[in-house]
Amino acid sequence: MTTTSKLLKTLLVFFIILIAQLSYAFQQPSKIKTVTVYLDGAEINRESSVKLNSGKSEITFSSLSPYIEESSIQISGLKDASILSINYGINYLSKQKQNDSITQLQKDLKNLDAKIQQQYHLIAGYNEELSLIQNNKKLGNASEVVSLEKLKTFATYYRTRITELKIDINKSNSEIEKYEESKADITKQLVELNVDEKVQTGEITLKLNTDTATALQLKLKYNIKNAGWFPIYDLKADKINSPISLEYKAHVFQNSGCDWTDVDLVLSTSDPNTNNEKPVVNPKYLNFISAYSNYQSQRATRSYNYKYNPLVKHVSGVVSSSSDGLPLPGVSVIEKGTSNGIQTDFDGRYTLKTTSGNTIVYSYVGMKTEELPIHSSIMNVTLDDDDTLDEVVVVGYGTATKKAYTGAVSSVKTEEITRALAGEVARVNIRGVGSINSASTPLYIVDGAPYSGDVSQLHPDHISEISVLKDAAATSMYGSRGANGVILITLKEESDRKINDLGIIVETGITNTRFEINKKHNIPSDGDISVIEIDKFSVPATYNYFAAPVLNENVFLTAKIGNWEQYNLLPAEANVYFEGSYSGKTNINPSATTDSLTVSLGVDPNIIVKRKQLNDFKKTTFIGNNKVIQKAFEIEIKNNKPSDIQLTVLDRIPKSQAKTIKIDDIETGNSSYDEDKGILKWTLNLKPSATENVKHSYTVKFPKGKRVNL
């Protein structure tokens, strides 16, 4: 072998080794397999089969959503390959693929534009011909006289042709008008489909290294914005004294830039965008401030759990004061970020048509401003007094229920543990430990590991067993850390899985509920709503009629649902159906701190309630420097239904907020009277066609020359 041949062979081997060590790059398709939709946002799970050569490789997953949260990207299924880097970016040259219906609509728009342009060209031609005729209609010359027959021929031609041209121009204008109407309809439909004019897509570029050629089944997981779901309920009652059918539906939407086609869908009640930062309470120091300073006291963040509902286009409700429950006239109700707003009327009522915002701001002089997401077509709001001088902080922990804990708990008070778990006390003492250490707390062991967190964060409902170790038993296992005793806590399994009547797997965890839908779904990226029924309950209910004629003389049929916590509901709007007819809407608020959930099933016109002021008691007298007004009212109730009913009637006696306003001579009749709130309550049982009357009266005394909001 010649020297040249050896050199060529050496160079060839060198280049082969060099090429093997160089990285190679390629575009890799991927498919969405599973989507977990949160109340705000979604988690996307994609899969892709990849074949790698040994060495470094660069893989680009294209045509992804441009709304990916980069910090959430996770890659699995790597086997022996290692990740060198992960990069996410936007490709402004790559267009999002529109779905077929949108593509066809956009194509139709272009065709209509072409047809309109064609008609304009025809009109231009017709006008040119008209101009030509107008400019050449002179007959003969100075030396030639046109015959009558020739004149008639030319006149007939001009008249006929000009008429034809003007008819053609009108016809073209009619065609243009028709095409423009079609364009307007298509444009409205594209708006309804929430077509995003943005064309960019997201890309994830993955650099890998592997010592040997391998085949991988890569799994990509990431979170996106512009997606979510919100609940809607249907409450159906066939007749009184029968269970209520509660249908739980999810309204799913997404506008992420990628269609979800034939995917496994999971709905979660979690909200990854919630601020999970635990608040830090620092000392507050008081000092004097200027009377002209713009100081406002800090307000605690409220926990509403309401989520924006894009379906709501009209909002109505009543704004009242939390201190006395009275309606507030003149409250400013404004859609945040817009100039769209209104004021409440004399009865505190408002109706607002929403535009582009997703939050409503309620503000009133002397009251704390309230902001709520647009979550329902009925939004009744109470405003708190803005008292910057005397602040009272009320912290609600709910009600802790004693549990029948198993294990050796005789040496510790169960009540103390329960209260500690509810956050009411900071310390649990175990009887029998040394008195020197009696002021110290015991060691908590949760699921076999020491628990250094706040014990109040463990909810009693999540505990399956508690046992106690003390003295030698505690120190032998946990050393000096167990000197003050040891409380062993075993938690229930993190989740409770069941299959409901719809075949959907419902997984109830400590902090959220997941619904694993049993059918594959297609959710297009158009922001439109896909309705999925996720659960259904037959709910025992207690029915009652209710009337408050001081505010509304209609009689409402209500249903009270007990033990409603078991259904894991979210605050949402509900459509109410009674006896097969649509009765209207109501709100379900499981966040309320009541032991039952009461919903209104609509107005029953067969029960008549009238409230009138008795003239015999309608008197105004003067005693010294005071004015005295006597008031008395009678409420008449008649049952026109063919069955017995139970009716709850509420009224009120006014409460004074000034020392010089006196409420005296209160007569409450046979009502149940709450003296602190001034609320009168009658519970009446009426036979068919029966009538009953109830009365109450009072006097108001206040200084002459003053006016009182009677």
- The DSSP-derived string for 328-349 is -TT-EEEETTSS-EEE--TTSE
Q: How far apart are alpha carbons 97 and 142 in whole angstroms?
A: 73
Residues 6 or more apart in contact with residue 485 via CB below 8 angstroms: 411, 412, 430, 432, 433, 442, 443, 468, 469, 470, 474
Among left, alpha and beta (phi > 0; psi -120 to 50; other), residue 171 is alpha
For residue 265, CA distances in Å to 128, 158, 504 come to 63, 73, 11
Beta bridge partners of 190: none
Q: How far apart are alpha carbons 486 and 408 in whole angstroms?
A: 12
Beta bridge partners of 649: 547, 682
Beta bridge partners of 685: 646
* DSSP tag of 447: T
pLDDT tens-digit map of 433-447: 544 344 467 888 776
User: What are the respective helix, strand and coil percentages of the chain, to the nearest 5?
Assistant: 20, 40, 40
The CA radius of gyration of the chain, in Å to the nearest whole number, is 38
Average the pLDDT over 652-674 and give the result: 91
pLDDT band for position 408 (cuts 50, 70, 90): very low
pLDDT tens-digit map of 606-618: 999 999 998 765 6
Cα dihedral value 241, 247, 248, 250, nearest 10: -150
Q: How far apart are alpha carbons 109 and 185 in whole angstroms?
A: 10
CB of 74 closer than 8 Å to CB of 210: no
- More confident position, 93 or 52: 52
CB of 66 closer than 8 Å to CB of 201: yes
Give burial (CB, 10 Å; 0-12/13-18/19+) of 559.
buried
Quote the tokens at residue 327: 């309606």
CATH code reported for the domain at 314-383:
2.60.40.1120
Q: Is the pLDDT of residue 189 over 90?
A: no
CB of 319 closer than 8 Å to CB of 333: yes
Q: Is the pLDDT of residue 404 over 70?
A: no
Sign of the torsion angle spanned by Cα atoms 241, 243, 247, 248 = positive
Quote the tokens at residue 645: 């009913």
- More confident position, 23 or 131: 131
Q: Is the pLDDT of residue 90 over 50?
A: yes
Tell me how far the alpha carbon of residue 158 is from its chain's centroid.
Answer: 71
Quote the tokens at residue 89: 């970016």
- More confident position, 470 or 293: 470
Give burial (CB, 10 Å; 0-12/13-18/19+) of 19.
exposed
If you average pLDDT over every residue of the chain, what do you get?
Answer: 80
Q: Is the pLDDT of residue 558 over 90?
A: no
pLDDT band for position 673 (cuts 50, 70, 90): very high
Question: Where do the structural domains in the chain lie, given as residue ranges?
Answer: 100-139+147-192, 314-383, 607-703
Q: What is the pLDDT of residue 573?
A: 87
For residue 662, CA distances in Å to 326, 479, 546, 656 come to 19, 69, 31, 7
Sign of the torsion angle spanned by Cα atoms 190, 191, 195, 199 = positive
Give burial (CB, 10 Å; 0-12/13-18/19+) of 623.
exposed
Spell out the alpha helix ranges (H) of 193-268.
none
Q: What is the pLDDT of residue 474?
A: 67
Average the pLDDT over 592-608 and give the result: 78
Cα–Cα nearest to 443, from 403, 407, 480, 476 = 480
Q: How far apart are alpha carbons 424 and 398 in whole angstroms?
A: 10
CB of 88 closer than 8 Å to CB of 224: no
Cα–Cα nearest to 646, from 541, 543, 540 = 543
Instruction: With 0.95 as the threshold, say if the pTM is over it.
Output: no
Cα–Cα nearest to 474, from 412, 427, 405 = 412
Sign of the torsion angle spanned by Cα atoms 174, 180, 185, 186 = positive
Average the pLDDT over 646-653 and give the result: 94
357 in helix, strand or coil? coil
